[in-house]
Each structure stands twice: as structure tokens, then as C-alpha cells.
Chain A
Amino acid sequence: MLKVLDSAVPVACWSCSIGHNDSTLFCPHCSKIQPPPGGDYFSVFNLEPRLNLDLPALEQEFHRLSRKLHPDRFARALENEKEWSLADTALLNDAYRTLKDPLRRTEYLLKLLGAEIGEEHSGKGRIDPSRVPADLLEEVFDLNMQLEEMRMTRKVGDEDPALEASLAEAKAKFTGLLKAVDTDLRIEWQAWDQGDEPARQAAQKRMVALLDRRRYLSNLVRDVTETLGA
């Protein structure tokens, strides 16, 4: 479940001993650096979980926090401050890397909400027939036959321009479908960001399905690209 920021545990600052909640990178009283806070990646940037983000503003905040947190700024500090600067900066970098990329951001938010999401770059992943989206079943079957044929042709050193053209056509088609998924995802972002709880739940479900479909399509495109390029 989403972590609610208000429930952050109060802790005492290591330096001035005044209590503050554990979601802050710097003590609000003495400004000293604190151990990595317990919140999610959004809270590092002081943001509510959102799928539409203002990227230039995110970058600006990333740079501002980097200037304050980076180990280069703590080269002459106490050992514990050095250690926290390292851990805090790693958290900041991990958060920025995840949030600036639309897909990683979506996956992250869905995982935060408890969804099971496969890894984007999971293994070699030759196509698993049980997970083929129903509307693509027939085409994927044909494509796999063609891919196999192409590999065999290449193996014996032959060429088959007709087959090559057909595969290139399939690649273009699936690339187009990928783009369509991205458009659909953006619509769901809107639905999630602006919706009430039931609307969000529905959007989440659709996004999990879209991500599955996207992963599947991108593996397909990769397979065709690899086979054509070999």
C-alpha cells in the first residue's frame, strides 16, 4: 500500500537532538544531513505520487538536491555525514532515474500499489504462447514461423528478400502497436492522476495489462530486429 507521509515516524536529529519526521533529508532545525528517509521516491522530491510529472521541474529539483547531498560536498565532513551523504545521494539518484522515465515511473507506482509487474528486461524471453494477447494470436503464430524460417535461411547462408520484406513489414506493424500502447498508457495516467479511488483502481488494472502487452510487443520487435540484423 502507499505509504502515507503523515504517519512518518518521528526521529531525533543526530546533531541537534530535536525531533522531526523521518521523511526529511535535512534536519529542519539545524540543517544537518540526515540518514536516508523512509518515504517513497516521490517523497524524495516532495511530490505526491503522480504519473504526469513536470520533467524540467524534476530535473531542476534533482540538480538542487544533488548540490546539497552529493559526497563531493562532504569530503571533509564527519564519517557519519559522509556515509549518509552517500546513502542519500544513492536514494536521490535511484529516485530520479525511476521517475524521469515514463515506463519505469509507471511500473514503480504500480508496484508501490501492490501490483505484480514483470521485469522490463527479463531474460532472453522467447515468446511464451500462454501470454500472447488474444488479438495478436494469429499474427504472432505466423511471425514465429517466419522468424524460424529466416534463421534457417541465414544459417545456411541463403537470402530470401521476400521473407525479409515480410518481416520488416511485421516489425513496422508491431512498432506501431507499441506506440499505440504508449498513447493508451498516457490516457490512463490522466485517469489515475485525476480520478477518485474507484477510478484509480480501474486505471491501475488497465495499466498492468498495458504494461504486459507492451513488454510482449517490445520483445517481439527485438526478436525481429535481431533476426533481421544477424
Chain B
Amino acid sequence: MQGDTPVVIPGVDGSSLVPSVVALDPIPADGGRPTVTVGNSARKSLIEHPERAIYSVKRLMGRGLAEIQEELKLFPFRLADDVEEGEVPRIGLGELRFTAPEISAYVLRQLKRNAERYFGAPVTQAVITVPAYFNDAQRQATKDAGRMAGLDVLRLVNEPTAAALAYGLDRAKAGTIAVYDLGGGTFDISILKLRDGIFEVQSTNGDTHLGGDDIDNLLIAIALDEIHSEHGVDLRTSPGAIQVLRKAAIEAKIALSSQSVAHFDIELPNGDRYQREIPRGVFEMLIEPVLERTAGPCKQALKDAGLTPEDIDEVVLVGGSTRIPAVRLLVDDLFLLRARRKKPHTELNPDEVVALGAAVQADILAGASKTTEEMLLLDVTPLSLGIEALGGAVARIIQRNSTIPASATEHFTTGVDGQTNVAIHVVQGERELAADCRSLARFDLKGIPPMSAGLPRIEVKFLIDADGILQVTAREQRSGQAAQIEVKATYGLTDEQVESMILDSFDHAEEDFAKRLLIEARNEAETILAAVDRAPQNPAWQQLTAEEQGAIQAARARLESVKQGDDPAAIREATLQLDQATRRFAELMMDAAVTTAIRGKTMDSAGEDLGDSVTAPHAMAPAEFK
């Protein structure tokens, strides 16, 4: 938070987004520990060493073996082959194997480091956002990842709700809003009522298997088919090639949000070129079934909230995929926006709005701020909680869309004389049979005093906490004895496992932290110094006045000398000054680049030549086989 406003912290590369790509660098020749890279810098590994990189790990969080196998049909990752059912699956990354929470922890650690670099102080607590439709296991896995990254997770916030918080900051008014959140891998719809700073979620629905990735996969499938039939090249088994196609597909998809036609132009390994036009009309027909899948959850959410589309005062769009015009059209239809002369809210960057909302929630939790002291978020559980009854039916104990924290108390007894334990199977979902719901955990109530059948009365309290995670306590009422509970989560890591997976346990150590800050500050200094050294060769240099050149040289000399010292703050200060001094030079260079790029090119592809900057349309280089 900067005063009253949440801000997104930039990373070392200046970009505010850290793509969830994690790559394992080749093992050093001296046999040292391999390095894990995260974000934009890990992206090139996706193409060069696809077996050493992983992306979209969110889709794998909290999932069991069978579910991951299903998911991996669409993704090029390899499952470790020695995983057994009931264990948390591990994904092969180069020579090593990681669980989904571990991979996620690397991304979180990168974000933690970015924040530490920005604040110049250790960051140990975090609010993490999750798709609203995440189940218990997916939420627990996310919390585990936070712990592994050295973060105390203060709260999990549902993404659409976070977006509402970000928008709600400057519009403290009453009304009913719908948040439509179509991201890379998940879809959420939440309906909230706003009143006097209270954000009360009425209902939520979604699909944790639906998003931009599905659209990319459709385009990739077409390209693979056509390359096979027209050029006789089968790329389906070549992960690197698929990544090249993925990149091209994403570029085409993004282009089609602002242009009426996009092109595939890809050089194939045999020297042929695969060229194809994708008119927007064709693209929209292709993705219609994917988009149509968001309609059902929206209607269900309205129904659960007891509302009609006309009751929705405002619609907020979240997630990169809501930039697609066809998505906006669908949302317009679903909530009758145009008919009511309304427009959805898109003022905040759909890729950043959730992070901004998380910052607002963190400010609420910190409790010391005037801006957020009147704000309170009341969220709901997306899925009903039930226990398996005799015959495999589900007895629902907490209905979906109940405000959390929520609780239910159930009583259990024994069926046989002298029985000392009772097994309880807890499930999550809306189906009638336990087998069709998502198995959450099996509890074994142990140490029940031996009595006649039906006499013990064991009270079990199920409580869903503010993070949407289940807690269970049990008590035998007749003997007053606390029954022991042994929880066996169906999917998930044990505490000990999480403990053993904590990354860099010395991350908090004061000395270590100072050392890291110094190294990072020096690296940044090196980067800008190298750029300034090359500057006089650039034609733009001659456009600077003698004073401007002198100022740059002076700032350069200062940084050179401060860099020798060991004060990271001083180094960053000098780096910043050199950066300021070269600002006009950078602008001149940028202008020249744009002019060159525009000649014979569209504005859209010119952006790419400007490189991986915040303003570049997207962070990938044009597709090309090496």
C-alpha cells in the first residue's frame, strides 16, 4: 500500500508480472546444486529444454494421481513414475522431482524476494489469493506452498472477491456486483453485496479446469493437425515444438483481441513454413464451446443468490482472458448489460487487480489503516461439505455458499458392542453419492470407551475457517472423554513433509538476507553500467547535449565507486540516479526503435522489438525454431 492505494511491486526485470514458469537450470559441471529460475527468465527454457521447465502449476495443486494424469494429457510434463495412489504426485523437472506445492513455493519465493528487494526488509507474512472454486485440498496445498517459501500465510482470499475489494476502495457505495474471472486455467463467478464497507459474498461458482489454456490448446491442436496433413511432419510428440506452437497460439490469441485477423508463420524443422491466417470469426467459432462453459456457473450463481441478471448493478471483469471481445459479448448477454446501458468494469488491469485486492486485505488484517478500517470481507464456501452415510449417499452438513467461518455439529455412535473406533468419510461437492464427490479426508475416531452398541455419543464439530479450510474436533459426550482423531487427508502433504520441503531454511537469517540484498544491488548496478558503456555507440547518444552526456558520466563514476562498498541501499540509490540521468537517452532510443519497427510492420508486432518491458504487449519473442 502506498498511502491509500495498493501498488504492484515490479520485479528485477521491471515487469510487474512474474509468470508462473519454473525452470531447473542444467546441473553445473562441478556437480553443485542446480539453480531454479522463475518467471520471465525461465520462459526460454520452455522451448530450449522443455523437460526442464513447468508452467500453470496451479492446475496441479491439491490434485490426486488420477486427476493429474488427466490434466497432463494437455501439458507436456512428466509424472515421476514411482508415485503411488494416495501420495502427492511429483513432477519430473530435469533430474529432479517436485510436488506441485514445491514448484508453487519457488514462484512464491521469487515474489517474496521481489518484495524484499523493493522494501529493503525481510518479508515474512503474506495474503495469497486462490480461485474461489478451489476445494479444501487445493487450498491446503496453496498454504503449504506458502510455508515452504518461508511465508506465514495470514489469509487465503478468493480471487474474484479480492478483485471486488480492489474496485471497492474508491467506490464506497451500496450495490450488488458480479465478478467474472476467466484466467489462464480457472474460471470463477462471484456475486457480492456491498454495503457500508461490508463485502458480503452471496454466492460463488466456477470451474477449476477452464481458462485461457484451453483456448491455446484448441489453436495448438489445429496447428498440429494441419502441419501433419499439409507438411507430413508430426510434432505431437515433440514437447519443444509444442511450446513453440503454444507461443504462436498465445500471440495469435492476443492479436485477435485488437485485430480482425492473426497469422501463424512458423518455420518447421524440415525447413518448410507453416503459414495460416486465423480470421477473428473463425477464432470465435472455435472458442465458443469453451466460453459457453462459463454460462452455466453464472446462471447457477445467480440462482443460488436468489437474483436475476437485472439485480446486478455492476460487473467486474478479471483475468487476462476477459480481454477477448467474444468474452465481453457473452458477459454482456448474461447480465443484460447493454440493454440496461451498463458497461463492465475494466479500469484496473485484469492481470493485476487480484494482487491489488490482496494488498487491501493485508491492510485490513494489519488493522492500522484509516482507509480500510471500515472494510470487511465476508466470503463463502464454494462447495457443500458432507459425510458419507450408509449405502454411499451423502449427508450434507454445510451447504455451499454458506458464509465462512461456518460450522456443523454431528453426533456419531457405534454399531457393535465394545466398538472403540468409528470411521468418518468427509467429502466435498454437490452430487448425491459420495463416490461422485471429492473425497476430502477420512477420520478415525479412536479411544471410544467400550460400551454397548449405540450408547456412546460422539460429538464431532466440523468448522470451515476463514481460509475455506476444514478443521475437525471430536468429543465423546457420555464419558466426557476427548476422542482422538486421526486425520488422513485424501490428497495432501503431512506436516512433516511440508517441514522437510521448506526452501532455504536460512532465508530469514539476518546476515544471509543482508548478503543477498548486496548481491542483488550489485547485479542491478552491473546491468545498468554495462548498458551505459554501450551507449556512445548508439546513434541516439549524439542527440544528447554535452551537459546531459556529462551528467550521465558523473552518475556512472559515482555508481562505479559506491559499488565497491557493501551498502546495498547506497548502491541502489546510485543506480537509481544513473537511471534518472539516462532517462532522456532511453526515450530517444525508444523513439528510434519504434520508428524503425513501424516501417513495414504493424504497431502490434513492433511492441515485441522493444523487448521485455512493462509496456511490451507480451513478454515473448516471436516464435521460431532453433
Contacts and interface: CB of A to CB of B under 8 A. Distances in A.
Interface string B447-467: 000000000000000011110
A66 B198 CA distance: 9
Given A63-B198, A66-B198, A123-B393, A72 B466 contact: yes
Interface in B348-401: 361, 364-367, 376-378, 393, 396
A75 to B, nearest CB: 4
A87 B365 CA distance: 18
Interface stretch (A37-45, A89-97, A189-197): A89-97
Contacts of A94: 406-408
Contact of A97 (B196, B402, B466): B402
A103 interface: no
B198 A75 contact: no
A72 B463 contact: no
A124 interface: yes
B211 to A, nearest CB: 29
A126 interface: no
Contacts of A96: 403
Nearest to A97: B402
Given A66-B378, A93-B406, A87 B367 contact: no
Nearest to B384: A121
A90 B155 CA distance: 16
A76 interface: yes
A215 to B, nearest CB: 15
A72 B377 contact: yes
B376 A124 contact: no
B154 interface: yes
A140 interface: no
- Overall SS of chain A's interface: helix
Interface in A20-78: 63, 66-67, 70-73, 75-76
B498 interface: no
A75 B366 contact: yes
B405 interface: yes
A72 B198 contact: no
- Overall SS of chain B's interface: strand
Most buried by A among B198, B364, B366: B198
B195 interface: yes
Most buried by A among B366, B403, B463: B403
A86 interface: yes
B463 A86 contact: yes
Given A67-B376, A75-B365, A124-B432, A90 B196 contact: no
B432 A97 contact: no
Contacts of B198: 63, 66-67
Contact of B365 (A72, A93, A97, A121): A72
Nearest to A89: B405
Contact of B196 (A63, A76, A86): A63
Interface in B280-329: none
Contacts of B367: 73, 75-76
A83 B177 CA distance: 32
Contacts of B366: 75-76
Contacts of A124: 393, 432
B404 interface: yes
Interface string B158-181: 000000000000000000000000
A71 B405 contact: yes
Contacts of B403: 93, 96-97
Nearest to B195: A63
Interface in B132-172: 154-155
Contacts of B364: 72
A72 B376 contact: yes
Interface string A180-218: 000000000000000000000000000000000000000
Say which size band chain A's interface belongs to. 20 to 34
Interface string A115-147: 000000101100000000000000000000000
A123 B386 CA distance: 12
Contacts of B466: 70-72, 86, 89
A94 to B, nearest CB: 6
Contacts of A90: 404-407, 463-464
A119 B50 CA distance: 54
Contacts of B154: 75
A60 to B, nearest CB: 9
Contacts of A89: 405, 466
B465 to A, nearest CB: 6
A121 B361 CA distance: 36
Contacts of B376: 66-67, 70, 72-73
Contacts of A91: 407
B155 to A, nearest CB: 7
A124 to B, nearest CB: 6
Most buried by B among A63, A87, A96, A124: A63
B587 to A, nearest CB: 44
Nearest to A70: B376
Contacts of B396: 121
A72 B407 CA distance: 18
A76 B154 CA distance: 10
A222 to B, nearest CB: 12
Contacts of B404: 90, 93
B383 to A, nearest CB: 15
Contacts of B432: 123-124
A86 B405 contact: yes
B195 A93 contact: no
Interface in B477-520: none
A94 B403 CA distance: 8
Nearest to B368: A76
A94 B325 CA distance: 42
Contacts of B393: 123-124
Contacts of B361: 72
Contacts of A123: 393, 432
Most buried by B among A91, A94, A121: A94
A148 to B, nearest CB: 20
Contacts of A72: 155, 361, 364-365, 376-377, 466
Most buried by A among B361, B378, B402, B432: B378
Contacts of A97: 402-403, 406
A32 to B, nearest CB: 16
Contacts of B406: 90, 93-94, 97
B7 to A, nearest CB: 22
A113 to B, nearest CB: 19
A87 B463 contact: yes
Interface of A: 63, 66-67, 70-73, 75-76, 86-87, 89-91, 93-94, 96-97, 121, 123-124
Interface of B: 154-155, 195-196, 198, 361, 364-367, 376-378, 393, 396, 402-408, 432, 463-466
11 contacts: A63-B196, A67-B376, A71-B466, A72-B466, A75-B154, A86-B463, A89-B405, A90-B464, A93-B405, A93-B406, A96-B403
Of all A-B residue pairs in the complex, the 6 with the closest CB atoms, nearest first, are A90-B405, A75-B365, A90-B407, A93-B403, A71-B466, A89-B405
Given A72-B466, A86-B466, A87-B405, 17 more contacts: A63-B195, A67-B198, A67-B376, A71-B465, A72-B155, A75-B154, A76-B367, A86-B405, A90-B404, A90-B405, A91-B407, A93-B403, A94-B406, A97-B406, A121-B396, A123-B393, A123-B432
